[in-house]
Structure 1
């Protein structure tokens, strides 16, 4: 039996450290409030859950795999792939797309998709390394990356749809980490009248 790195002993302190950094950032910007702190807590719990389920298990004493690195990688798209895996990968990244516009100013759907792609690529690369060097049990799959991007974009679309509901708009503003008043002012500013010569 190999010695497995305890998941909670890694992800809980990591999440706590990230939470401290996020809260300090809000304090320094004069933006700390209970709703924004709640977003920081949700973001850290979400990130910890993703790391725990995509990177672990990790073993301390499992022999390094002698198989080629490509044995734990699927790079050809549209090969056989379970529908349940596709749905799971979409659902796992919906919160990322939803939380981004609360934390970052001026997010668009393609920026949300790009962020999901970067995070997903980081996970897949980590899975390759841990599978080869630390006896991890995950396979890096291009399908995971593609469906993660879809999930991130759908999360952003869900956020936009919710923020357009009048009853939810004020609530969204309370949870946002930045003031969107300049954006509203720009939208309300009339177009300059151009005279004729």
Structure 2
């Protein structure tokens, strides 16, 4: 029994594949670099689950056989900041990217606010471009929106700010250092 409309690609198998591939690639990087530990593997698992969730919730639904229409198709693209955008959507986008702002500096040798901000922006831009491509190729169900990009990036910055604050508490800094992929005794750079 299928709950997907005819022609709809189910999100779960694709998201699981993305998560498994992301996890395996990270484990291989940890093993090859001689940096494997269970706490670092937990970060890899967190990133894999996060990536799978992002793919499932931002790219899907997609349809292999979209409904036919007499009107010419044009992708839904919102390029005007703050136009026809709800506060609830902004908050959701911020909250979804806060974990990324915490996970990114765990992977970096010398995290800084700019590196994390650029990485969060790159991830958000990739999502918006995937949504645009999914619309074009598969009649995807999401709008590529500059507002999503802005609020996602802001969410990454909020997550990094929380990470920096937590890193300044000695007990929490010690715990965070166990999860870092690169050993460090200093707190993350703020510039």
| TM-score, length-scaled by structure 1 | 0.87
Q: Does 2:110 match 1:106?
A: yes
Asked if the contact 1:5/1:59 (under 8 Å) is kept, the reply is: yes
**Match of residue 127 from structure 2:** 123
Structure 1: unaligned runs, 5 residues or longer: 185-197
Structure 2: unaligned runs, 5 residues or longer: none
Q: How does 1:141-180 map to 2 (within 5 A)?
A: 141-180=145-184
Provide the C-alpha distance between the structure 2 equivalents of 1:64 and 1:109, rounded to a whole number of angstroms.
Answer: 47
**Match of residue 56 from structure 1:** 60
Distance change >3 Å, CA 132–CA 63, structure 1 → 2:
farther
Classify the secondary structure of the residue corresponding to 1:80.
coil
Q: Which has the larger radius of gyration?
A: 1
Q: How many residues align?
A: 181
Provide the C-alpha distance between the structure 1 equivalents of 2:47 and 2:29, rounded to a whole number of angstroms.
Answer: 14
Provide the C-alpha distance between the structure 1 equivalents of 2:39 and 2:29, rounded to a whole number of angstroms.
Answer: 15
Deviation at 1:63, TM superposition (A): 4.7
Provide the C-alpha distance between the structure 2 equivalents of 1:94 and 1:163, rounded to a whole number of angstroms.
Answer: 16
Q: Which moved more, 1:126-135 or 1:56-65?
A: 56-65
Deviation at 1:47, TM superposition (A): 0.8
Asked if the contact 1:110/1:153 (under 8 Å) is kept, the reply is: no
Provide the C-alpha distance between the structure 2 equivalents of 1:139 and 1:2, rounded to a whole number of angstroms.
Answer: 22
Root mean square deviation, CA, Å: 1.6
